[in-house]
């Protein structure tokens, strides 16, 4: 009902219903059309039908009428309540009563609805309340006062506080774990670096020892994998900062594809690149961009395809920006042999995790498509500021 009437509170709904005669077919109170039922009686009947405390106050804040829920909420009789202002309350602290009274008078002066959520010291206990009011006019359009309501939302606030505490505890546990993982990974990287240097020295002394070469290669692979996980943790902690410079995206991609093929000469997989005809000069962090491309290519390599094609696409965008897309597809051999139809995605792959987080860091999007011969394996979309 509030959404349909475009109002902020049930008090406004009550005024609309009351003035339009929509409650029980009764006419508005101010019309006084029913001589057999006094206006005050009809007024009280409407108030008592409301499920929450409701009161009508004059322009000075004096209570003119209220419902039974109001009397119960404040634990007062009708005789005690009538004529009382908020500032006269004996159950609020003087500071809270003055603040609420001033807020009410300000709303009256502006003739505007008000809504507020407060934490009060009410009857010697802390209470969260939601209060609102709406200007109320008589049939001649003169301002009578404000139609007000106050609802106890302490239980609701306690539930929110409990959920917030649980959330913060989980965040604390997550931060502690990521910090531990980072420290452990950095220590392991230092130890591995020392071991790799030792093996490298020994391999120079024993050049014919093929086992040492194999051990060194295996250690380097482990070191690379730990570095991937360490970068993921650093991004999660928010300590990786991009440093954009002017660079050309086709060339960056070309350099990374060449380096990638050079790192995997023993594997049957090769990556072919189809770049844009026109330069794509943008502001980008070259190292992080290349690392992102490398991570996604490593992931695609792990799928087991003998060849992969990377297509670059640049589209000018408003506000001097450039939409950059990379489409990574199965290559001609993969398509000819139908290998792409039998791939299974591994979405917990560390390289994929790193590539996804680097994409998010650059405000880009990574879409993984179902493996198959009809489309790409992955689509990378990033919007960069253009560079002159």
pLDDT score at 30: 39
Q: Measured at the alpha carbon of residue 73, what is the angle toward residues 20 and 96, in degrees to the nearest 5?
A: 100
Contact partners, residue 88, CB within 8 Å, separation at least 6: 97
Q: Are 371 and 324 in contact (CB under 8 A)?
A: no
Residue 201: pLDDT band with limits 50, 70, 90: confident
Q: For 60-72, what is each residue's pLDDT tens digit? A: 999 988 888 888 8
- Residue 4, classified by CB atoms within 10 Å of its CB into exposed (0-12), middle (13-18) or buried (19+), is exposed
Q: Which two tokens stand for residue 344?
A: 């299974």
Residue 141 corresponds to which tokens in the numbers above? 């359009």
What integer pLDDT is reported at residue 212 of this predicted model? 77
Nearest in space to 387 (alpha carbons), one of 252, 234, 294? 252
φ, ψ for residue 274, nearest 5 deg: -120, 105
Hey, what domains does the chain have and what are their CATH numbers? 2-152 (3.30.450.20), 159-236 (1.10.287), 245-385 (3.30.565.10)
With H, G, I as helix, E, B as strand and everything else as coil, classify residue 372. Answer: coil
Beta carbons of 199 and 215 less than 8 angstroms apart: yes
Confidence check: pLDDT of 267 > 60: yes
Alpha helices in the chain (DSSP H): 2-5, 10-19, 39-49, 68-74, 78-81, 94-110, 154-205, 210-236, 249-263, 286-302, 332-336, 350-361
User: What is the pLDDT at residue 25?
Assistant: 39
- pLDDT tens by residue, 232-264: 888 888 888 889 999 999 999 999 999 988 887
What's residue 251's pLDDT? 94
- Give the range among 48-52, 130-134, 281-285, 329-333 with minimum mean pLDDT: 48-52
Q: Is the dihedral of CA 188, 346, 308, 274 positive or negative?
A: negative
pLDDT at 32 over 50: no
Report d(CA 251, CA 65) in Å as an integer. 78
Q: What does 70-100 look like in DSSP terms, one character per residue?
A: HHHHHT--HHHHTT--GGG-SSS-HHHHHHH
Q: What three-state secondary structure class fits 348?
A: coil
155 is written with which tokens?
């239980």
pTM: 0.55
Pairing of strands 54-58, 365-368: unpaired
Lowest-confidence range among 188-192, 210-214, 373-377, 382-386?
373-377
Whether 86 and 131 have beta carbons less than 8 Å apart is answered as no
């Amino acid at each position: 009902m509030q959404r349909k009437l475009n109002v902020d509170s049930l008090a406004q709904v009550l005024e609309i219903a009351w003035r339009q005669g929509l409650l029980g077919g009764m006419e508005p109170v101010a019309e006084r059309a029913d001589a057999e039922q006094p206006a005050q009686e009809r007024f009280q009947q409407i108030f008592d039908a409301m499920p929450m405390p409701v009161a009508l106050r004059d322009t000075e804040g004096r209570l003119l009428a209220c419902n039974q829920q109001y009397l119960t909420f404040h634990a007062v009789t009708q005789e005690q309540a009538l004529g009382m202002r908020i500032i006269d309350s004996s159950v609020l602290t003087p500071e809270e009563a003055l603040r609420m009274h001033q807020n009410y008078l300000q709303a009256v002066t502006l003739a505007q609805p008000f809504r507020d959520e407060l934490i009060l010291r009410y009857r010697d206990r802390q209470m969260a309340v939601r209060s609102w009011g709406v200007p109320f006019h008589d049939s001649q359009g003169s301002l009578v006062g404000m139609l007000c309501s106050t609802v106890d939302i302490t239980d609701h606030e306690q539930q929110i506080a409990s959920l917030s505490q649980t959330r913060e505890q989980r965040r604390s546990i997550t931060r502690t774990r990521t910090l531990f993982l980072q420290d452990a990974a950095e220590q392991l990287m230092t130890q591995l670096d020392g071991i790799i240097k030792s093996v490298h020295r020994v391999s120079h002394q024993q050049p014919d020892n093929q086992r040492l070469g194999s051990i060194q290669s295996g250690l380097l692979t482990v070191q690379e994998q730990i570095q991937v996980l360490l970068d993921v943790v650093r991004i999660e902690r928010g300590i990786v900062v991009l440093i954009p410079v002017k660079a050309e995206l086709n060339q960056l991609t070309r350099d990374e594809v060449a380096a990638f093929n050079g790192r995997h000469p023993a594997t049957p997989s090769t990556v072919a690149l189809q770049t844009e005809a026109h330069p794509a000069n943008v502001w980008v962090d070259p190292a992080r961009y290349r690392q992102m491309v490398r991570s996604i290519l490593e992931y695609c390599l792990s799928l087991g395809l003998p060849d992969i094609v990377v297509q670059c696409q640049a589209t000018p965008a408003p506000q001097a920006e450039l939409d950059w897309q990379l489409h990574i597809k199965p290559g001609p051999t993969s398509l000819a042999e139908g290998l792409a139809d039998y791939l299974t995605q591994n979405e917990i792959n560390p390289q994929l995790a790193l590539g996804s987080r680097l994409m998010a860091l650059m405000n880009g999007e990574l879409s993984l498509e179902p493996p198959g011969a009809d489309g790409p394996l992955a689509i990378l979309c990033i919007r960069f500021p253009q560079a002159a």
